[in-house]
């Protein structure tokens, strides 16, 4: 199974296309000739990127300003695309956020907002757009999970759970769609330098300190994550962990008893070691 051949009445919908990995995924898709629909809340950034993509690659770049954590806003994306005469040929569920800190200090509304964005939006957008891909016999879904999907993550308990959902859901869907011409990949990055840590509530200094605590060989650029993710989608791989050290870390973690692993993770997590 490969990425579908770009068609004029089709688009690649990328959520979270105003920053970080989403920008690079949109750029990589446009370079392959896919028209793109850029979705996020910050309109100015989306419009700047749309202009860049159209002028550099000639593709049709659409902008839809939406809070993807909102049920009605997600349904409105489908309506807008229908009105514009576009079918979603590639769906990229990339928008995501994390809360930080132990559950007993969490804010209920922030936890719910995260789950709506990281879990509910992924399932809702797949339900909205995958049926037409199956009907056409071609399509691709890229869901952005994380290495946090592979084990519980004390300090980001909700986020780890959300990404575990994304991984499990994507793998199940990949199997369901194997004979329908639709490829599904869960990309599971380790650390990537983006706005993510700050957007997730860390101060600039705290984010920098947390970043420094991780060995440099674990870091993969957003550009590289995007390129590897599209290559995996093109090959029909259901799971991709960008960067060999991250892949090895996930494999090694499986060999460590869960209780020991969780204690080690908790000890090193910056959000659990603030005081
Ligand atoms: N960076 C990492 O180390 C890392 C590692 C593993 C996995 N990931 C995953 O990679 C994905 C992208 O993260 P990133 O690192 O590129 O983070 P980022 O730089 O903070 O970008 C996040 C994107 O999501 C959008 N977004 C956030 N809340 C939204 C909402 N309610 N509605 C619509 N869009 C929303 C943001 O746009 P607006 O603010 O303009 O809405 C932005 O475009 C996430 O799913 C994240 O969990 C990141």
**What is the 3-state secondary structure of 155-171?**
CCHHHHHHHHHHHHHHH
Distance 260 CA to ligand 1 centre (A): 30
What is the CATH classification number for the domain harbouring 89?
3.40.50.720
Sign of CA dihedral 86, 96, 238, 131: negative
Residue 107 domain-assigned (yes or no): yes
Selecting among 129, 150, 159, 196, the annotated active-site residue is: 159
Q: What is the pLDDT of residue 255?
A: 96
DSSP symbols for 182-198? EEEEEE------SSHHH
Distance 54 CA to ligand 1 centre (A): 23
**180 CB-side CA count, 13 A:** 18
Neighbours of 26 (CB within 10 A): 31
Beta-strand relationship, 239-240 and 10-15: unpaired
Mean pLDDT by 10 residues, the chain (275 residues): 91 98 98 98 98 98 98 98 98 98 97 98 98 98 98 97 98 97 98 95 87 90 98 97 97 96 93 74
Residue 27 domain-assigned (yes or no): yes
Q: What are the DSSP E strand ranges found in 108-166?
A: 139-144
Residue 68 domain-assigned (yes or no): yes
Residue 3 domain-assigned (yes or no): no
Residue 2 domain-assigned (yes or no): no
pTM over 0.95: yes
Atom of ligand 1 nearest to the CA of 191: 3
| Residue 159 annotated as catalytic | yes
Atom of ligand 1 nearest to the CA of 148: 6
Residue 5 domain-assigned (yes or no): no
Residue 75 domain-assigned (yes or no): yes
For the Cβ of 96 lying below 6 angstroms from any atom of ligand 1, the answer is: yes
Q: What is the pLDDT of residue 1?
A: 67
Domain that holds residue 193: 10-272
Residue 208 domain-assigned (yes or no): yes
Q: Give the count of domains, the chain.
A: 1
């Amino acid at each position: 199974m490969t990425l579908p051949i770009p068609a004029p009445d089709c688009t690649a919908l990328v959520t979270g296309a105003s920053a970080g990995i989403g920008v690079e995924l949109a750029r990589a898709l446009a370079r392959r000739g896919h028209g793109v629909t850029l979705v996020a809340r910050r309109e100015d950034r989306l419009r700047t990127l749309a202009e860049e993509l159209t002028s550099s690659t000639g593709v049709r770049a659409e902008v839809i300003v939406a809070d993807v954590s909102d049920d009605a806003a997600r349904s409105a994306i489908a309506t807008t695309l229908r009105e514009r005469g576009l079918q979603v040929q590639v769906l990229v569920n990339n928008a995501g956020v994390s809360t930080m800190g132990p559950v007993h200090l969490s804010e209920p509304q922030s936890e719910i907002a995260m789950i709506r964005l990281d879990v509910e939006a992924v399932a809702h957008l797949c339900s909205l757009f995958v049926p037409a891909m199956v009907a056409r016999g071609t399509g691709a879904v890229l869901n952005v999970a994380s290495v946090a999907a592979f084990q519980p993550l004390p300090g980001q308990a909700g986020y780890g759970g959300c990404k575990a959902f994304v991984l499990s859901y994507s793998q199940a869907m990949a199997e369901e769609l194997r004979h329908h011409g639709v490829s599904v990949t869960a990309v599971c990055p380790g650390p990537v330098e983006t706005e993510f840590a700050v957007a997730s509530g860390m101060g600039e200094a705290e984010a920098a300190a947390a970043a420094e605590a991780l060995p440099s060989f674990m870091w993969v650029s957003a550009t590289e994550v995007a390129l590897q993710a599209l290559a995996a989608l093109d090959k029909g791989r259901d799971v991709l962990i960008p960067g060999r050290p991250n892949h090895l870390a996930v494999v090694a973690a499986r060999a460590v008893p869960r209780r020991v692993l969780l204690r080690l993770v908790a000890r090193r997590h910056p959000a659990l070691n603030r005081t």
